């Protein structure tokens, strides 16, 4: 069963074909396609897709190489703010410091750390990053594990692994992850990604306190929320595979969904349980990265381009934006309206707009 939480006519054909192919797999049950669906690579399922498998099977490569990627945020009420942030005098030093907050840094692509503000002057710190090198290493080990299982099962084209294969250690198994410790290591990896995001936010809070932006009481009274959107959730009756799909649970009743680097973030909660307690993790790309560059160079009005130069001088390198920055500007992403209306099981709680956003510029 495929359930579209968006208009299928607006989805690129390659993504539709991959989803339809998933539906032919007898081990896969419910498939949900979210409004931010788009192709990641031609070899993997699209971003913005969630599916359940039979409880005795799981698909180890679905999450890609950034297993555990997610978004953490905190909301800082106005009463804790003693001075406003002025981007022009604040950005340069802060952006340099942010990349040293953790050993592996933020990462590239659409990963970021932003400080945002809503219409009633509350501040938000939002961090989107994942497991970095540890995630890549685990992906490679999982690939070896899948290849071992294909040999043992005698089926060369399967993309799943039997859960029992991991729960029953054997001397015949070649992979380091097939020694009964897979699930322990997997959960440790998810916890590692969560702790990385929390560290970014904790250190940003302390930075803002030392810069006389926040009162010291903010450090003790601000709650940090975290959500993951690249992972497998192992349950008693099924296994839920999420690729660029945010999962709700009891500890993250409100999740942050970035709309774009320059537009800001929508924070949502559930109206009722649906779509395996999941929602789209962001607005979703309107243009692929190549198409975005072509649009910037040939179709975007000169006046609109000049607005980006005026509003985001911090991203200029020798007077120009790099490709990685251009492809994260707001024109590359879908609008908010369909995103909200096509997911009636969620509702908006807050919305914030960036004061500044730190990214890797390459």
pLDDT digits (tens, 9 = 90+) for 97-122: 998 898 888 888 889 999 999 999 99
Q: pLDDT confidence of 43, banded at 50, 70, 90?
A: low
Neighbouring C-alpha atoms within 13 Å toward the C-beta of 238 = 13
In the three-class reduction of DSSP (H, G, I as helix; E, B as strand; rest coil), residue 3 is classed as strand
- Alpha-helical runs (H) found in the chain: 13-22, 87-98, 132-153, 163-167, 182-210, 218-221, 289-298, 302-311, 323-326, 336-341
Averaged over 70-76, what is the pLDDT?
A: 98
Q: Is 304 within a domain?
A: yes
Give one word for 350, left, alpha or beta, with left for phi > 0 and alpha for psi -120 to 50: beta
Mean pLDDT on 43-55? 92
What value does the mean pLDDT take over residues 142-170?
Answer: 87
Is the predicted pLDDT of residue 362 greater than 70, yes or no?
Answer: no
Q: How many CB atoms lie within 10 A of CB 19?
A: 22
Residue 17 resides in a domain: no
pLDDT digits (tens, 9 = 90+) for 278-336: 999 999 888 888 999 999 999 999 999 999 999 999 999 999 999 989 999 999 998 89
Q: Is residue 328 part of a domain?
A: yes
Tell whether 214 is covered by a domain.
Answer: no
Identify the pLDDT of residue 42. 60
Q: What token pair was written down for 148?
A: 């071992």
Give domain status of residue 56, yes or no: no
Question: Do residues 41 and 65 make contact, with C-beta atoms less than 8 angstroms apart?
Answer: no
What does the pLDDT read at residue 195? 96
Domains contained in the chain, number: 1
Of the pLDDT bands very low, low, confident and very high (cuts 50, 70, 90), residue 48 is very high
**Cα torsion through 80, 83, 89, 90, rounded to 10:** -10
Predicted local confidence at residue 171, as pLDDT: 54
pLDDT for 251: 62
Domain that holds residue 317: 287-332
Dump the DSSP string for 62-75: TTTTSTT-EEEEEE
Q: Is the pTM of this model over 0.75?
A: yes
- Residue 268 belongs to a domain: no
In a domain, 75, yes or no: no
Has residue 4 been placed in a domain?
no
Both tokens of 220, joined, read: 């003790």
Overall residue count recorded for the chain in this entry: 362
């Amino acid at each position: 069963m495929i359930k579209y939480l968006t208009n299928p006519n607006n989805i690129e054909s390659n993504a539709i074909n991959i989803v339809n192919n998933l539906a032919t797999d007898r081990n896969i049950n419910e498939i949900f396609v979210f409004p931010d669906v788009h192709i990641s690579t031609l070899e993997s399922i699209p971003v913005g897709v969630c599916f359940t498998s039979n409880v005795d099977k799981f698909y180890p490569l679905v999450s890609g190489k950034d297993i555990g990627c997610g978004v953490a945020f905190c909301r800082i009420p106005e009463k804790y703010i003693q001075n406003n942030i002025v981007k022009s005098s604040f950005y340069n030093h802060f952006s340099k410091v942010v990349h040293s907050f953790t050993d592996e840094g933020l990462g590239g692509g659409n990963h970021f750390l932003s400080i945002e503000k809503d219409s009633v002057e509350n501040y938000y710190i939002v961090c989107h990053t994942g497991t970095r090198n540890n995630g890549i290493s685990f992906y490679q080990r999982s690939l070896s594990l899948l290849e071992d299982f294909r040999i043992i099962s005698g089926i060369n084209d399967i993309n799943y692994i039997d859960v029992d294969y991991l729960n029953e250690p054997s001397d015949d198994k070649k992979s380091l992850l097939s020694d009964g410790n897979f699930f322990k290591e997997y959960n440790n990896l998810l916890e590692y990604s969560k702790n990385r995001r929390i560290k970014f936010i904790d250190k940003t809070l302390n930075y803002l306190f030392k810069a006389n932006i926040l009162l010291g009481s903010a450090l003790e009274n601000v709650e940090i929320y975290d959500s993951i959107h690249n992972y497998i959730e192992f349950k008693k009756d099924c296994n839920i595979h999420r690729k660029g799909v945010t999962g709700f649970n009891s500890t993250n009743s409100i999740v942050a969904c970035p709309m774009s680097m320059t537009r800001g973030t929508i924070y949502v909660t559930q109206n009722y349980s649906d779509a395996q307690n999941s929602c789209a993790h962001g607005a979703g790309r309107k243009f692929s990265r190549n198409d975005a560059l072509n649009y910037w160079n040939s179709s975007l009005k000169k006046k609109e381009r000049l607005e980006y130069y005026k509003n985001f001088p911090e991203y200029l390198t020798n007077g120009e934006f790099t490709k990685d920055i251009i492809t994260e500007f707001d024109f590359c992403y879908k609008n908010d309206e369909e995103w909200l209306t096509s997911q009636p099981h969620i509702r908006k709680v807050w919305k914030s707009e960036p004061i500044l956003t730190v990214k890797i510029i390459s």
